[in-house]
Structure 1
Amino acid sequence: MALVSKVSVVPGLKGWLLIEFDDQTRKFTNINPIMKGVLENLKDQTFFEKVFVDKELQTVSWPGELELDPDNLYQNGVDVVHVKNLINAVKDNSDFSDFIEREIV
């Protein structure tokens, strides 16, 4: 079972968190897809930025007892190492930019 030890809001990426887990793994996690129902309040950036780690549950939380399942966060997050590798691979690479425009966007 994954447990959260630290959480930060990713500046400039609405709905994204950087989460550190108890095994020292760090992952970027997009919360946007689950901002429905009880989690609708998370769409308010001011409220979203009130994120903290609930020390008892060891997971990502917000005021009002909004907690997320740490195992889902772990499974759906993107490992920081992969993001770093991708960023380094595509820096100033126009071939890659063209590929993204043609094949992905």
Structure 2
Amino acid sequence: MALVPALVVPLKEWTARPGPLEPWAAGYFPSGHTATSAVAYIGAALLITPYVRRAWPMAAALLLTGATATGLILRGWHWPLDVLASCLLCVPLLLAVRRGAARAV
């Protein structure tokens, strides 16, 4: 979770992309909300799945992350590309969590 701002904030400053409802404001790309929710929900699912040995934690995490991303787009806080970029940025972090969880078990 601590690495999410380290990935997202420099990209927000570098791109300075305006938001859908606030064209005068900058810093909407990538979505920090989506990145945080993806790392939190999917990371937690990756950590508990070896102990539960069922598919529901990952399904619930993907559903919650998708709901967060969809809500951000529908409410006009982010463009769809902002949300997609955040999901792709989280892949390396989540792969590291998966690798660490596999070693711990």
TM-score when normalising by structure 2:
0.29
Higher RCO, 1 vs 2 (CA within 8 Å, ≥6 residues apart):
2
Considering fraction of residues, name the structure with more helix. Answer: 2
TM-score computed with the length of structure 1 as normaliser: 0.29
Larger Rg: 1
The structure with the greater share of residues assigned to strand is 1
